[in-house]
Amino acid sequence: MASLSIDASSVQDLASKNLGTIPTRYIRAEIDLEIVVTSIDNNEVPVIDLSKLILDGNNSGFSNEEMKKLHLACQEWGFFQLVNHGVDEEAMKKIVEDVMEFFELPLELKKECSSEIEGYGQAFVLSEEQKLDWGDMLYLFTRPDIQRNYKVWPAHRPLTFRESVNKYSSEMERIKTILVGLMAKNLGIDQHKFIDLFKDGLQSMRLNYYPPCPDPSKVLGISPHSDATAITILLQLNEVDGLQIRHDGHWVPVKMLPGALLVNIGDVVEILSNGIYKSIEHRVVINKEKERLSVATFHEAHKSVLVGPLRELIINNGGTEKYRSVTSDEFVKLILSQKLDGKSLLDVLKLKNE
Ligand SMILES: O=C(O)CCC(=O)C(=O)O
Ligand SMILES: [Fe+2]
């Protein structure tokens, strides 16, 4: 999402200039006050082993215990690390290499990918006063194919960029479908119907680059937010951690396991599930010495889906609907207006009848 109106320069470029002081637009006065939990028992993001949840012919490897763990993770954390996910290793390796290569390109070449909504730049820079995130991104619509706007994809280098994104994006689509099927099972609703809600939904990717910062305690890579999608699957490209998630009133740092994917429930699944699953606030903190890179793959529901609690889940919940229903067009409009006035989308849609 290149700047909608104001051109904030590349943070990567800014950071490379060894500035003595950090420009005030990046400095957050409030961060010091927040509590970060480091290593408290039971305060680690759940780890789910997907190989225990795949139904093979005779069901031999299937673990009900792992299913329960998944259900709890979606209810209480809104996040889980996924291991033994079976994503093609070559596809993982190639996306890592090509995204790294993209951000190493000279600024002029990266800027060729700038545009209004998609492309290279920063998220939603709407005013001169707005605090800025310490990070750059390349934001692309990746699926269905017809949504791709190759004008904002790198044209020449990395040479294999299109191929790598295509392969990785189809792997993410496959994993998303498996996961929503498992969630339906856990929610006690029809798996095929639930999977269909997300079939051919928009998939987009946000390639994130967070440069080191000489005073990391004063900046944020991404401000606290919940994802306005259905499901997000995140890949951290190097060993530098930085993601923190809200849990029990604290910020809990995620220690990414090598090769794992991090999955989180977005606002749409929170709403569809009538609040049984939670879309949790998260933010990114910055490292003093090292850059951090990640790829977030966002999966939306199909645009024909009404974003509102599913009838079966209202009934199971004592008949109380917790959110108002909106069409997907209205939902997109709300995302944009909520960015303008800084309100949480979930708060806007929550019904106050409890
Ligand atoms: O880089 C990360 O770890 C998180 C990125 C994120 O939250 C996002 O792109 O929405
Ligand atoms: Fe996010």
51-94 confidence digits (pLDDT tens): 999 876 666 778 999 999 999 999 999 999 999 999 999 999 99
Structural contact between residues 74 and 265, judged by C-beta atoms closer than 8 angstroms: yes
Residue 107 confidence (pLDDT) above 90: yes
Confidence of residue 33 (pLDDT cuts 50, 70, 90): low
pLDDT of residue 7: 52
pLDDT at position 31 is 67
- Reported as a pLDDT band with limits 50, 70 and 90, residue 30 is confident
Q: What mean pLDDT do residues 340-347 have?
A: 79
Cα(282) to centroid(ligand 2), Å: 6
Ligand nearest to the CA of 220: 1
The binding-site residues of ligand 1, defined as CB within 6 angstroms of any ligand atom, are 206, 208, 222, 227, 234, 243, 282, 284, 294, 296
Q: What percent of the chain has pLDDT over 70?
A: 91
Nearest C-alpha neighbor of 97 from the set 140, 159, 16: 159
Tell me the mean pLDDT in the region 8-21.
83
**64 CA → ligand 1 middle, Å:** 30
Q: What is the pLDDT of residues 317-340, one digit of tens each?
A: 778 999 999 999 999 999 888 776
Ligand 1 nearest-atom number relative to CA 296: 9
pTM given for the model: 0.94
Cα of 285 from ligand 1 centre, angstroms: 10
pLDDT digits (tens, 9 = 90+) for 170-204: 999 999 999 999 999 999 999 999 999 999 999 99
Ligand 1 centroid distance, CA of 294 (Å)? 7
pLDDT for position 162: 97
- Domain extent listing, the chain: 11-349
What pLDDT does 352 receive?
81
Identify the CATH number of the domain defined by range 11-349. 2.60.120.330
Mean pLDDT taken over the chain: 90
The H or E element containing residue 141 is: strand 136-143
What atom of ligand 1 comes closest to residue 294's alpha carbon? Answer: 1
Our CA dihedral for 178, 179, 181, 184, rounded to 10 degrees, sits at: 170
pLDDT exceeding 90 applies to what percent of the chain?
A: 73
Residue nearest atom 8 in ligand 1 by C-alpha distance: 296
**Nearest ligand to residue 266 Cα:** 2
Least confident of 163-172, 214-223, 245-254, 336-345: 336-345
In this predicted complex, what is the ipTM? 0.99
Give the burial string for 227-259 (b: 16+ CB within 10 Å, else e): bbbbbbbbbbbeebebbbbbbeebbbbbebeee
Please tell me the distance between residue 21's alpha carbon and the centre of ligand 1 in angstroms.
Answer: 26
Find the 225 Cα to ligand 1 centroid distance in Å.
9
**pLDDT (mean) for 292-319:** 94
Ligand at shortest distance from the CA of 236: 1
Specify the length of the chain in residues: 354
Q: Which of 123, 115, 147, 155 is nearest to 296 (CA)?
A: 123
Atom of ligand 1 nearest to the CA of 210: 1
Q: Which atom of ligand 1 is nearest to the CA of 227?
A: 10
CA distances in angstroms from 246 to 72, 73, 78, 188, 249, listed in the order given: 16, 13, 10, 27, 6
pLDDT value at 151 more than 90: yes
CA atoms of 68 and 127, how far apart (whole Å): 45
Predicted local confidence at residue 279, as pLDDT: 97
* For residue 3, pLDDT beyond 70: no
Task: Considering only residues 293 and 8, tell me which one the structure prediction assigns the higher pLDDT.
Answer: 293
For residues 65 and 69, what is the distance between their CA atoms, to the nearest angstrom? 6
